[in-house]
Structure 1
Amino acid sequence: MAGIGEVAKLAGVSTATVSRALSGKEHVSDRAKQRVLKAAAELGYVPSHNAYSLATGRNQNVGIVLPKITTWFFSTMVATIQTELVNAGFDATLYTLSSGKEQRERIFNDLLLRKRVDAVLTIAVRPSSRELERLNQVGKPIVGVGGPIPGARSFSIDDQEAGRLATEHLISLGHTRIGIITASPIDDTEFAQPVQRRMGYEDAMNAANLEINSAWFGESNFDIAHGYHLAKQFLGDPRNSPSAIFCAADEVAFGAIMAARDLGLRVPEDISIVGIDNHELAEFYGLTTVSQDVPGQAAQAAKALLEILQSDDPNAMTNFEEEHILPLQLIVRSSTARVRAN
């Protein structure tokens, strides 16, 4: 079997250039990379992972930590991140925290500290100061998605602003009776997105001097079934129902749309509904939503981590606090309209 030296000789480059080209690192011209790939193909060269690991102390493997993978948000995040990593020649090891505190302790205090993982990318998980200290002690960089992480780089949206923007859209259409369906704070202890989005709703309502009616407030599990149930309670009261509902997640909004239709209400003529996410089914439902560009957040976080791992600067591996707040976009579709005149 051909070795790296033979590939370098045939391509007319150094062995270091061959290594960089085949590992997906930058600082290699397209022309040189193409010569290396052609030479490797002709010689049937397969890079040795063990040799690379011994030479660099790296395994080209990133540990991804997240609460669960069963929802659209998390599965979309993971799929995007894995694509970025694979395209750069990196593997990914997935760790979920679905089994509670003991599983989390083993992941952060043991598994992530082993040599098989070069770096860590967290999704909606905020490492504690102790967990981050352990990663720093073994020189593992970390990048997070979902909210600020003291002492580490992170990418997120302003959830309070997202809630405010969604509610202001309804107010701009003349709605004054606006309900809200969010999630229980217990369901999200890491970054309190449900609380932040509710605060944005309250900011917009208070700024417009509108009443916040407790009868039109509900907490769900951020899923279609709970959105359906709560919206049906709001809209089923013939004497006290809202003209619009702000749903703090698109999947909740899908349930609300179905509840309205089951009650014989027209969306948006009788009830306007807005969400947050820009879920892949949002266009199908005609849902007006505040897009948080889930694939974009994931891609930026993965690229930032890859830039660290591919850097020739040894200081790049050092964690430091740097928060990136990504832009929001209101996408208006057919689920919202001006309030109907009485």
Structure 2
Amino acid sequence: MNLADVARRAGVSPATASRALSGHPHVAEVTRARVWEAARALEYVASPEATGLARGTTGRVAVVVPHLARWWFGAALEGLGTVLREGGRDLLLYRLGDAGSRQAFFDELPTRRRADAVVLLGFGVDERERERLDRIGVGIVAAGTRVGSHPSVSIDDHAAGRQAMDHLLHLGHRRIGTIVAADPELDLAQPAGRSSAYRAALADAGITPDPALSVTVTWSPESGARAMGELLGLADPPTAVYAHSDEIALGAVRTLRRAGLRVPEDVSVVGIDDHPLAAMTDLSTVAQPAAEQGELAGRMALAGLAGEPVDPVVTVPTRLVIRGSSGPPQAAGRRWRRS
């Protein structure tokens, strides 16, 4: 079945049938209803490509993510998808995968414009990739990071890191370890603010950073567990640990408990995110609204497509959530009491 069949059954021209099915405002309601009735009777399905060709759009927004398994990406994607669906746009999802897949994606991008806008979730781009994005001639929005001068929504990573570090310092900790998260293959724009916050907080407290207290790992709970093992192996282990994410922090807590140490009496742990498991495990953290960032990115994309003004940079606030994994350090010269 094609559009001509629908038009013939409804007793209208193909042009009128097309306008009725695409929601054109200059179609009488009685005519629109007759065309839709004919389309349903014939089980007609409009070709997205043909419809887009007629109106100069695809009706889709491309969303590019480096990961799907991590909590932040799933939550942001859910918020983004809800807004796009309510705005009448389909979501076209691209997962970058490894470095080779990422390069192939950006190589092919200018030759296959399949969407009216592109939203980048949680990863930065280099100059070459930015140039490829600019060449496709559609609006670009970034969520969880910033990409050149394109509209973006994210948290202030430095401010979030300071909330975590200042909390530990206010509790009285002076020997604080940090577990830095890195994904060198995919995340070219690391959350550097979370590391700068660690150094700045120590400097403001008059503490000289000890390089041995900083461990860089990949972004996973297992890596957090291994990093905590390294910190426990030091001659003078930390009394508190600030992790770049809750997933890493939960891995660190696992190692501490398996070592027979108490949290927070022996070692305090604070993360960033407010992952759903953080409340269940009583983890102190700095909460960031992941779904809200996705929703805001979706609204930015829709506003740009409608020709409406878009804020160039939106920073959503974070907040410290104090739970049972952080507390004051034991007295100097303490001995760890095995639980």
Same fold (TM over 0.5): yes
1:281 aligned counterpart, secondary structure: helix
* Kept after mapping to 1: 8 A contact 2:62/2:92: yes
- Deviation of 1:148 after TM superposition, in Å, equals 1.9
- Deviation of 1:112 after TM superposition, in Å, equals 5.4
1:186 aligned counterpart, secondary structure: coil
Quote the Cα distance in structure 1 between the aligned partners of 2:37 and 2:254.
55
* Kept after mapping to 1: 8 A contact 2:110/2:135: no
Which residue of structure 2 aligns with residue 221 of structure 1? Answer: 218
Residues 17-60 of structure 1, C-alpha deviation per residue, up to 9 Å, x if partnerless? 98559xxxxx9xxxxx9xx99x9689848773456323311111
Amino acid at match of 1:160: H
* Kept after mapping to 1: 8 A contact 2:125/2:189: no
* Kept after mapping to 1: 8 A contact 2:99/2:185: no
| 1:197 paired residue among 194, 197, 205 | 194
CA distance change for structure 1 residues 113 and 75 in 2, over 3 Å: closer, same or farther?
farther
- Deviation of 1:184 after TM superposition, in Å, equals 4.0
* Kept after mapping to 2: 8 A contact 1:288/1:333: yes
1:63 aligned counterpart, secondary structure: strand
After superposition, where does 1:9-28 map in structure 2 within 5 Å?
19=22
Residues 176-224 of structure 1, C-alpha deviation per residue, up to 9 Å, x if partnerless? 111111124735652121x321110110011001242233221111211
Amino acid at match of 1:206: A
Which residue of structure 1 aligns with residue 259 of structure 2? Answer: 263
Asked whether 1:278 is paired with 2:274, we answer yes
2:313 aligned counterpart, secondary structure: strand
Which residue of structure 2 aligns with residue 24 of structure 1? Answer: none
CA distance change for structure 1 residues 224 and 153 in 2, over 3 Å: closer, same or farther?
same
Which residue of structure 2 aligns with residue 59 of structure 1? Answer: 58
Residues 133-153 of structure 1, C-alpha deviation per residue, up to 9 Å, x if partnerless? 444444311101122211311
* Kept after mapping to 2: 8 A contact 1:59/1:115: no
Could you tell me which runs of 5 or more consecutive residues in structure 1 were left unpaired when the two chains were aligned. 7-14, 22-26, 28-32
* Kept after mapping to 2: 8 A contact 1:236/1:263: no
Which residue of structure 1 aligns with residue 336 of structure 2? Answer: none
Asked whether 1:298 is paired with 2:283, we answer no
State the structure with more CA Rg: 2
After superposition, where does 1:140-155 map in structure 2 within 5 Å?
140-155=138-153
2:276 aligned counterpart, secondary structure: coil
* Kept after mapping to 1: 8 A contact 2:183/2:218: no
Quote the Cα distance in structure 2 between the aligned partners of 1:107 and 1:171.
44
Amino acid at match of 1:295: A
| 1:326 paired residue among 313, 316, 334 | 316
CA distance change for structure 1 residues 174 and 17 in 2, over 3 Å: closer, same or farther?
farther
Residues 204-259 of structure 1, C-alpha deviation per residue, up to 9 Å, x if partnerless? 0110012422332211112111111221232355x512111001111110011111
Could you tell me which runs of 5 or more consecutive residues in structure 2 were left unpaired when the two chains were aligned. 11-17, 333-339
* Kept after mapping to 1: 8 A contact 2:246/2:274: yes
Q: Using the aligned pairs only, state the percent identity.
A: 31
Quote the Cα distance in structure 1 between the aligned partners of 2:126 and 2:248.
30
Deviates more, 1:281-290 or 1:150-159: 150-159
CA distance change for structure 1 residues 256 and 99 in 2, over 3 Å: closer, same or farther?
closer
